[in-house]
Amino acid sequence: MHTPKITVIGSINMDLVTLAEAMPKQGETLSGESFKTLPGGKGANQAVAAARLGAEVHIIGKVGDDPFGKTLIDNFESQGVKTEAIGIEAGVSSGLANIIVSDQDNRIIIIAGANGEMHPDYIDKFKKRIEASDYILIQFEIPKQTVEHILDLCETLDVPVIINPAPAMQLDDAYWAKAAYITPNDTEAEKLFAYDTDGLPKFQDKLVITNGAKGASFFRGDRMITVPSEKVEVTDTTGAGDTFNGALAVALAEGKALEEAVAFANKAASFSVQKLGAQSGMPKRSEIE
Ligand code: RIB
């Protein structure tokens, strides 16, 4: 089978993960159960998910010139993600995510750090890499003008782009129109595409909407098709959406039809929620099959 070539352009974070019995309320101090530093960032997670499933994966991103930056690059190398397009930004911290995991859910605050230094001219250095890819996968933890530049560039180079619009950020319709697929969760879909109203959401022919344990939906014409997920024991949902996106890109690059690709991505995501940390539970190909 053709080895899928995926290039992820996006964020690389160190996740500072606190496990607690409950979320603290405003002004409240609680004792937590444990604390871990774990590799994360939506871009990084999607790259690792796709690599574990057997794709050739490159990441275009930036880390700071701090100890976390080195650890994050080492992590990609151990996961088989190609790191030639990772820049080390002097005098800037690596991206950070403060995560509290509690009651099968999470709350996250991110500090962009080096991810905020991903400017359009940096992307242009990797035109050949982008052109050689079956799919480009992007998220919204890098500057908006860079997202828009990537969409323009990929249109010129005729390379399909999957946009995972997380965290939610509005783009002009002309930019959404350049995506092959858009993969919001249900909350992002409500905010960005009027998914909650009676009529059809905007760009419904491009949408693949994830809905946690319920599975994921897409539209065939004006009919919504929902592909349910398997029920599993949930430890931590952090990175489940990223696992879904990485797996979806792999399946589509392999030529799977959308419904089959969504089922494959659902299955991958159902593995990821069973372990603490964004990347720890991402499955290998053999586990899914
Ligand atoms: O999607 C999960 C990711 O969001 C975490 O790994 C964290 O870094 C934030 O970017």
Cα 136 from Cα 9, distance rounded (Å): 7
Predicted confidence at residue 198, as pLDDT, reads 79
Distance CA 251, CA 120 (A): 28
H or E stretch covering 63: strand 56-64
Rounded CA-CA distance 47/27 in Å is: 37
pLDDT digits 0-9 by tens, 36-58: 999 999 999 999 999 999 999 99
The DSSP 8-state label assigned to residue 223 in this structure reads E
pLDDT tens column, 142-184: 999 999 999 999 999 999 999 999 999 999 999 999 999 999 9
In this prediction, what percent of the chain has a pLDDT beyond 90? 96
Q: What is the number of the ligand 1 atom nearest to the C-alpha of 14?
A: 8
Give the residue, by CA position, lying nearest to ligand 1 atom 7. 41
- In this prediction, residue 120 has a pLDDT band, given cuts at 50, 70 and 90, of very high
User: Average pLDDT in the 216-221 region?
Assistant: 96
Q: What pLDDT score was predicted for residue 1?
A: 73
Q: For residue 32, report the distance from its CA to the centre of ligand 1, in Å.
A: 20
The residue nearest atom 8 of ligand 1, judged by CA position, is: 41
Give ligand 1 pocket residues (Cβ under 6 A): 11, 13, 15, 40-42, 45, 97, 108, 110, 141, 238-239, 241-242, 278
Annotated catalytic residue 242: yes
Q: Name the catalytic one among 66, 134, 236, 242.
A: 242
- Residues near 143 by Cβ (< 8 Å), separated by ≥ 6? 116, 118, 119
**50 alpha carbon – ligand 1 mean position (Å):** 16
pTM above 0.85, yes or no: yes
- Residue of higher predicted confidence among 19 and 105: 19
- Ligand 1 atom with minimal separation from the 38 CA: 6
